[in-house]
Chain A
Amino acid sequence: MSDAAIFSLAGAEPAPRRRLRPTAGRLLLGLGLVMLTILVLITLLAPLVAPFDPSATSPQSLEGSSSQHWLGTDAIGRDVLSRIIVGGRTTLFITFTAVSLALLAGLVLGLLSGYVGGWVDEVIMRILDVIFAFPVFLLAIAVVAALGPTVPNLILTIAIVYTPAMSRVVRGPVLSVKKWDHVEAARSIGMSEWRIVTRHVLPMVVSPIVVATSLTLAQTIFTVTALSFLGLGPPPPDPNWGGMLADARQFMELAPLTVVGPAAAIVFATLTFIVLANGLREVLDVGSER
């Protein structure tokens, strides 16, 4: 994975203020924001939006679409749409918390590594390389299996798995920004290192970090649902997208909607962050327009 390489530092100069024209990047960003709003609203308002209690069973199992159950019912007669809506809470909560933790750890480690350099850099990067060397799933499966499939463990695991990538995304631009003239000028003024980092280095590397975070969110949704699918997700009966897929798999031919529903939700959520990431990349990358 060489995410760090795609993010340029070109956002350095703010564009002169002018009327926003609908460029491809801005349209993409707008679409991403609309999708994100839908996702967040549905998730936050899940209990109000869901037409049924997601855990309530009924004798009508594996029904197709009807005016009552839009996406049918599952094997024990629970409403699929309600389970998707409520299940999104668990999946997205794990995703956001895990990525926030990875971002925080990545910021600290990446800044430390890139700015301080020397043996500090060596030690941090070599340790992260070890984590990096494992395939994401293998590592996640191993850790969750060892610690037990609870929500906090899942969050911690995913945070650990994505910390090396986030650290690298932070470290790369910091390495070059710290050599820029205005950083040297700040030091020659007599500024403390803390102030230099927070005022002169960090603001310069925000754009690549924002884009990388959005992409990592997309990947993490996938990872969370995949782990849940493999039975390493949050324990039942609370619904979650990956678990729903796993349960519905065996009835796929009888009731295709039970698979299509959660799958579509996963695709939508993942796509939201990919679209958002691409929009952000286009819009924040001001330098390439000049």
Chain B
Amino acid sequence: MIMGASQTGDDSPLVEVRDLTVTFPARSRHPAFTALNGVTFDIARGETLGLVGQSGSGKTTTGRAVLQLQKISRGSVKLHGRELTAMRADELRRMRRHMQFVLQNPYSSLHPRMTIAQTLTEPLIVHQAVTPARYRERVAELLELVSMDPAIMDRYPHEFSGGQRQRIVIARALAVNPDFVVCDEPVSALDVRTQAQIVSLLHSLQEKLKLSYLFIAHDLAIVHEVCRKVAVMYRGEIVEKGSVSQVYDNPTHPYTQMLFDSAPVLDPSLQRQRLRMPPPEPATLAAGHPDSACAFGEIHAVSSTPAWHEVAPGHGVSCRYRPA
């Protein structure tokens, strides 16, 4: 690529996301809905950022918006220091060889009428990554990369299990040697044993190929295993962000605490006791008012700072959605 070390030094992050905002416009009888609000994060080379939160918190929308598969209303996404949001369609298509997508459902994300070889060849054709004579060779390489037998390349997706299909989906994402892969709940459609296999596959591929992942999940245990950094989302905003150890050991935002509390514990009597307790009251998570002092005693409307506070180096927390 043309961008030299001057533009992106080794220490500058591979992916820079700033103030990413997605608003779905109002339709008849539905008011406009802000799916993402000011999402900001960096992902360094070879690093994994985990994105957790409950259903509807905007995790998937974040992944899609970062990949420019979702129209954004504000903000900036840079990959290799190049702004994606302002790119023309054909420029963006060429840029896609650096960023790939692993979707949640391996059953629906493969074309049912294309053989594995055809599926894996598509990205090679689109990006003219290798000459046509080398297609089958490259497909075999890719299947070996995800620990599958290259002999299966002329078979159809329905002949494979969910875990095998997810390997194929991963192979497709890696076909053109991307640097950055968004994994949207890559294991949540799989059974537990297969989950572990796919997770370790993602891990070894990361080490082998120096990949950066945005790892979207709702399973806190898997995020703990896969990621070094984690961001917690609530109602389209990142409410807490830090290294996995910081956030897991010292959850600071009330929503993060609630999320961790909702994970079942490995003690039947304790778990039963927890289930008898009433669920936490969502009203305590009102958005907060920008004109009054926030939980940290700052009036952001006056200081015009983002509603964000560092509680430790690299560990930040939002002052929104917490009782005043």
Residues of A at under 8 Å CB distance from B? 12-14, 16, 180-182, 184-192, 195, 199-200, 203-204
Contact = CB atoms under 8 A, between A and B. Distances in A.
Summarize A's interface: helix, strand, loop or mixed: helix
B156 A190 contact: no
Given A13-B158, A14-B156, A186 B112 contact: no
A191 B122 contact: yes
B109 interface: yes
A205 to B, nearest CB: 12
A188 B39 CA distance: 21
Contacts of A203: 113
Contact of A14 (B67, B101, B112, B169): B112
Contacts, number: 65
Interface of B: 67, 69, 92-97, 100-101, 103-105, 108-113, 122-123, 126-127, 156, 158-159, 169, 172, 176
29 contacts: A12-B112, A14-B112, A14-B156, A14-B158, A181-B103, A181-B104, A181-B105, A181-B108, A182-B109, A182-B111, A184-B101, A184-B103, A185-B101, A185-B109, A185-B172, A188-B69, A188-B101, A190-B92, A190-B93, A190-B94, A190-B95, A190-B123, A190-B126, A191-B122, A192-B93, A199-B111, A199-B122, A200-B111, A204-B113
Q: Which of B67, B104, B109 has the most CB of A within 10 A?
A: B109
A185 B103 CA distance: 7
Chain B at the A interface: SS class = loop
Given A188-B96, A189-B100, A192-B93, A182 B108 contact: yes
Contacts of B105: 181
Nearest to A17: B156
A13 B93 CA distance: 29
Contacts of A190: 92-97, 123, 126-127
A180 B108 contact: yes
B75 to A, nearest CB: 19
